[in-house]
């Protein structure tokens, strides 16, 4: 597409927050200044676009934010943006501020919103994958995924100390919604006894067999990682079923929950977010609209948003095999 003249770009974060969102905002804004553009922060995601929470940014706004978790622009979920009237209000506010392009940092829902908005109003938009879940196609890793895995692994290291001291069996639930990426990585990285992910159903009998075999082999501790939204149920539900069949086990359940979203981004996420922030601005200037910038095999790639959000990214079979081999 022939690039439109772009002078003012609005940037927003939307959906669940993820570590590295600040780094992505900073890189986007810095790259904007480098190319002599005016940069605007849209606070509270699409909700702020509808309510006109839009402010011009200067370099002071983005000082010392690279290393901070969360998003200084705040994030929100907006029911009103799902309606055409809501999106029209948002469009009118962009026109009022003379904003002629958008960078949307968020998960599949947020990118769906950007795609619809582009189709309806023709505002050039580029998405950046900002979610801990890693469930977007068009990028090897989403911004925040690596940090979330590190956080989960550090927490499980601590749980292992108590599991070993008391011969306990722990069921640890990690985030990821319908995707098992955090679970499988955490399982491999923390030497889990088993990893239960939504993509693969593990019958309870097989889990019991594995736990019995590990007891026989005199394994010092047993930690089972359970992805939220798994087909076999959450950690509490599975623990209950196992307790029924192995009543002599001292079983505990830990749900890591929102602590996986917070914290300073890892080196990997900082670099990824920085590359993608620059890619967003350069993509817009080159006329790449309605796409998501991602990194595949260390190279920046642009994927149509409609393709990135289809939800066909799958846990690598090899990762699953490695987790299985190392847990027996
Ligand atoms: P995460 O993966 O971390 O949950 P997300 O971006 O997928 O992040 P959602 O709550 O699904 O989070 O979406 C964020 C916002 O994007 C929604 O609150 C809504 O404003 C907008 N959005 C999502 N889906 C649509 C849609 N189909 N049409 C218009 N807007 C949408």
Looking at the structure, do residues 29 and 138 belong to the same domain, yes or no? yes
Looking at the structure, do residues 252 and 175 belong to the same domain, yes or no? yes
Burial of 317 (C-beta count, 10 Å sphere; 0-12/13-18/19+): exposed
Q: Is residue 324 part of a domain?
A: no
Catalytic residue, candidates 17, 100, 133, 290: 133
Query: What's the whole-number average pLDDT of the chain?
Result: 95
- Local structure of residue 260 (DSSP, 8 states): G
Q: What percent of the chain has pLDDT over 90?
A: 87
CA–centroid distance, residue 14 to ligand 1 (Å): 7
Summarize the confidence of residues 163-192 as an average pLDDT. Answer: 93
CA distance 152 to 234: 16
- Domain with 241, as residue range(s), is 146-261
Q: Is residue 1 part of a domain?
A: no
CA distance 132 to 101: 25
CA distance 49 to 99: 11
Its pTM stands at 0.96
CA 237 to chain CA centroid, nearest Å: 25
Q: Is residue 211 part of a domain?
A: yes
pLDDT tens digit sequence for 7-16: 999 999 999 9
**pLDDT tops 70 at residue 1:** no
Q: Is residue 313 part of a domain?
A: no
Q: How far is CA 180 from CA 105, 133, 246, 308, 318, in A?
A: 22, 8, 26, 17, 14
Summarize the confidence of residues 111-118 as an average pLDDT. Answer: 97
Closest CA to 159 of 224, 101, 209: 224
Looking at the structure, do residues 21 and 133 belong to the same domain, yes or no? yes
Looking at the structure, do residues 133 and 41 belong to the same domain, yes or no? yes
CB 27 within 8 A of CB 9: no
pLDDT tens digit sequence for 201-254: 888 999 999 999 988 888 878 999 999 976 678 999 999 999 999 998 999 999
- Which of 206, 235, 261 is the last residue before a domain boundary? 261
| Alpha carbon nearest to ligand 1 atom 2, residue | 107
- 135 CA closest ligand 1 atom index: 2
Establish whether 133 is a catalytic residue: yes
- Direct distance between the N- and C-terminal alpha carbons of the chain, in angstroms, rounded to an integer: 53
CA distance 290 to 123: 9
CA distance 251 to 131: 31
- Which of 261, 277, 292 is the last residue before a domain boundary? 261
Best residue for ligand 1 mutational test, from 12, 24, 110 (most atoms within 8 Å of Cβ):
110
Looking at the structure, do residues 275 and 139 belong to the same domain, yes or no? yes
| Alpha carbon nearest to ligand 1 atom 4, residue | 16
> What's residue 199's pLDDT?
86
Looking at the structure, do residues 215 and 186 belong to the same domain, yes or no? yes
- When divided into structural domains, the chain yields a total of 2
Confidence band for 200, pLDDT divided at 50, 70 and 90: confident
Closest CA to 118 of 289, 294, 303: 289
User: DSSP readout, 6-66?
Assistant: --EEEEEE-SS--TTHHHHHHHHHHHHHHTT-EEEEETTHHHHHHTT-EEE--GGGGTT-T
CB 294 within 8 A of CB 280: no
CATH assignment of the domain containing 37: 3.40.50.450
Looking at the structure, do residues 270 and 140 belong to the same domain, yes or no? yes
Looking at the structure, do residues 163 and 192 belong to the same domain, yes or no? yes
- What is the rounded (10 degree) CA torsion for 24, 176, 76, 126? 40
CA distance 109 to 53: 21
Looking at the structure, do residues 140 and 61 belong to the same domain, yes or no? yes
Looking at the structure, do residues 189 and 131 belong to the same domain, yes or no? no
Best residue for ligand 1 mutational test, from 13, 15, 145 (most atoms within 8 Å of Cβ):
15
Task: Give the 3-state secondary structure of residue 101.
Answer: strand
CATH assignment of the domain containing 208: 3.40.50.460
pLDDT tens digit sequence for 240-276: 999 999 998 999 999 999 999 999 999 999 999 999 9
CA–centroid distance, residue 60 to ligand 1 (Å): 29
């Amino acid at each position: 597409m022939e690039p439109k003249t772009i002078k003012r770009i609005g940037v927003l974060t939307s959906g669940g927050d993820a570590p590295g969102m600040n780094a992505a905002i900073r890189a986007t804004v810095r790259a904007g200044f480098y190319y002599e553009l005016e940069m605007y922060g849209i606070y509270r995601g699409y909700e702020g676009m509808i309510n006109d929470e839009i402010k011009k940014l200067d370099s002071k706004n983005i000082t010392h934010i690279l290393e901070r978790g969360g998003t200084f622009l705040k994030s929100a979920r907006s029911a009103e943006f799902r309606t055409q009237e809501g999106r029209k209000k948002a469009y009118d506010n962009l026109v009022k501020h003379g904003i002629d392009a958008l960078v949307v940092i968020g998960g599949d829902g947020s990118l769906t919103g950007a795609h619809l908005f582009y189709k309806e109003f023709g505002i050039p938009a580029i998405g950046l994958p900002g979610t801990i879940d890693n469930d977007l196609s068009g990028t090897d890793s989403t911004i925040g995924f690596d940090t979330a895995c590190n956080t989960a692994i550090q927490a499980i290291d601590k749980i292992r100390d108590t599991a070993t001291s008391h011969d306990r069996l722990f069921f640890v639930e990690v985030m990821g919604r319908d995707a098992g990426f955090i679970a499988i990585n955490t399982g491999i990285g923390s030497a889990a006894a088993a990893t239960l992910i939504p993509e693969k159903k593990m019958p309870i009998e097989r889990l019991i067999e594995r736990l019995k075999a590990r007891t026989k082999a005199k394994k010092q501790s047993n930690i089972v990682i359970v992805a939220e939204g798994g087909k076999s149920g959450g950690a509490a539900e599975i623990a209950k079923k196992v307790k029924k069949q192995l009543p002599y086990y001292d079983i505990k359940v830990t749900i890591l929950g929102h602590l996986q979203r917070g914290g300073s981004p890892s080196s990997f996420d900082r670099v990824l977010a920085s590359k993608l922030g620059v890619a967003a601005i350069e993509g817009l200037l080159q006329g790449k609209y309605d796409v998501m910038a991602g990194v595949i095999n260390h190279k920046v790639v642009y994927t149509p948003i409609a393709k990135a959000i289809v939800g066909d990214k799958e846990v690598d079979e090899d990762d699953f095999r490695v987790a299985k081999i190392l847990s027996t």
